[in-house]
Amino acid sequence: MAGKPVLHYFDARGRMECIRWLLAAAGVEFEEKFIKTSEDLEKLRKDGSLVFEQVPMVEIDGMKLVQTRAILNYIATKYDLYGKDMKERALIDMYSEGIFDLTEMILQMAICPPDQKEAKVSLLKDRTKNRYLPSFEKVLKSHGQNYLVGNRLTRADIQLLELLLYIEEFDPSLLAPFPLLKALKSRISSLPNVKKFLQPGSQRKPPMDAKKIEEARKIFKF
């Protein structure tokens, strides 16, 4: 029997958090080996564990996978969260890419220099209200189903829930005009595996505070 997946990353959200979310939603237990120093990261690079010398990296099924999208694709395929055919997978990929775009903006805002913060907040609010959330609301309205693709849970729904929770932390009022997205958020949050991941004490990570940001800067040198 294969062991639990092992996740190698800093003890924070970043680009590993969507992987944690997907594994948790699939009901898969995982272990984490946190990178605490720049020396820890360098050791992974020198022993050949990181194909492109960067994390996140996940040990799963005898492989050491890097690149966030590749990891998500593998997990989604393995646990039947990637649609039933090529057309559904294409839609899932398309929606996931949009989710990645906005999620990346949120993550980058947390670590941007103070003199850039105001402009980034303004841009984030504009993109959230006028581009991304209206698009996902329109998708749900167009087919009247419970999920984005094929009327069953896929990786796109899990990633969208993660994004909606980030937006809610940032500014809850941004979700107010989108009733179908709010219903999707409630529906997925009530699924047993997801509900468990949302409970205190789970491996879900909180927003990064100033101390965590400084720790990350020292490790990753950004």
The CATH number of whichever domain residue 14 belongs to comes to 3.40.30.10
> Are the CB atoms for 157 and 147 separated by under 8 Å?
yes
Residue 201 sits in the same domain as residue 122: no
Return the closest-CA partner of residue 12 out of 206, 217, 220, 222. 206
Q: Is residue 217 part of a domain?
A: no
Q: Is residue 218 part of a domain?
A: no
Residue 67 sits in the same domain as residue 94: no
Residue 51 sits in the same domain as residue 116: no
- The pTM of this model reads 0.95
| pLDDT for residue 64 | 97
Residue 201 sits in the same domain as residue 187: no
Tell me which amino acid residue 140 is.
L
Residue 14 sits in the same domain as residue 94: no
Residue 186 sits in the same domain as residue 95: yes
Residue 41 sits in the same domain as residue 61: yes
The CATH number of whichever domain residue 173 belongs to comes to 1.20.1050.10
> Are the CB atoms for 185 and 164 separated by under 8 Å?
yes
The rounded distance, in Å, linking the Cα atoms of 98 and 135 is 9
| pLDDT for residue 113 | 86
Q: Is residue 10 part of a domain?
A: yes
Residue 72 sits in the same domain as residue 35: yes
The rounded distance, in Å, linking the Cα atoms of 21 and 205 is 10
> Are the CB atoms for 20 and 30 separated by under 8 Å?
yes
Q: Is residue 62 part of a domain?
A: yes
Q: Is residue 222 part of a domain?
A: no
> Are the CB atoms for 56 and 66 separated by under 8 Å?
yes
Residue 106 sits in the same domain as residue 171: yes
Q: Is residue 187 part of a domain?
A: yes
Q: Is residue 1 part of a domain?
A: no
Residue 156 sits in the same domain as residue 98: yes
| pLDDT for residue 110 | 81
| pLDDT for residue 2 | 65
Q: Is residue 48 part of a domain?
A: yes
Provide the domain count of the chain: 2
pLDDT tens for the chain, 222 residues: list them.
Answer: 468 999 999 999 999 999 999 999 999 999 999 999 999 999 999 999 999 999 999 999 999 999 999 999 999 999 999 999 999 999 999 999 999 999 999 988 888 888 998 999 999 999 999 999 999 999 999 999 999 999 999 999 999 999 999 999 999 999 999 999 999 999 999 999 999 999 999 999 999 888 988 998 889 887
Residue 149 sits in the same domain as residue 201: no
Residue 11 sits in the same domain as residue 66: yes
Q: What order do you get walking across the sheet with 57-60 strand by strand? A: 31-34, 6-9, 57-60, 63-66
| pLDDT for residue 23 | 98
Domain that holds residue 205: 6-79+197-211
